[in-house]
A and B are shown apart, each in its own frame.
Chain A
Amino acid sequence: MTLSHDQIRRFARHLKLAEIGVDGQEKLAAARIAIVGLGGLGSPAALYLAASGVGTLGLIDADVVDVSNLHRQVLFTAADEGKSKVSVAAARLRAIDGSLDVVEHPVRLGPTNSVPILSSYDVVVDGSDNFPTRYLVNDVCVMLGKPNVFGSVFKFEGQVAVFRPPADPCYRCLFTESPERGLVPDCGEAGVLGVLPGVVGALQATEAIKLVTGAGDLLTGRMLLYDALRMRFREVTIPKNPACPACGESPTIPIEEDYVEACASGDAARTAIEELSPKAAADRKKAGAVFIDVREPEEWEICRIEGSILVPLGELPMRMRELMPLRQAEIVVYCHRGMRSAEAAGFLREAGFANVRNLNGGIQRWSWEVDPSVPRY
Chain B
Amino acid sequence: MKIRVRLFAMYREALGRGEVELDLADGTTAAQVFDRLFAGTAYEKLPRRTTLYAINQTYQPPATMLRDGDEVAFIPPVAGGLA
Contacts and interface: CB of A to CB of B under 8 A. Distances in A.
B33 interface: no
A152 B58 contact: no
Contacts of A318: 40-42
A144 interface: no
Interface stretch (A111-119, A236-244, A279-287): A236-244
B83 A187 contact: yes
A152 B78 contact: yes
A225 B41 CA distance: 24
A127 B82 contact: yes
Interface residues of B, number: 33
A303 interface: no
B16 interface: no
A314 B14 contact: yes
Interface string B66-83: 000000010111111111
Interface of A: 37-42, 61, 63, 126-131, 134, 151-155, 157, 159, 174-180, 183-188, 190, 192, 197, 200, 223, 225, 227, 230, 234-239, 313-318
A290 to B, nearest CB: 22
A40 B73 contact: no
Nearest to A41: B81
A154 B78 contact: yes
A40 B80 CA distance: 9
Contacts of A187: 83
A237 B78 contact: no
Contacts of A38: 82
Nearest to A237: B58
10 contacts: A40-B82, A126-B81, A155-B13, A159-B78, A175-B49, A184-B76, A223-B52, A227-B8, A236-B52, A236-B54
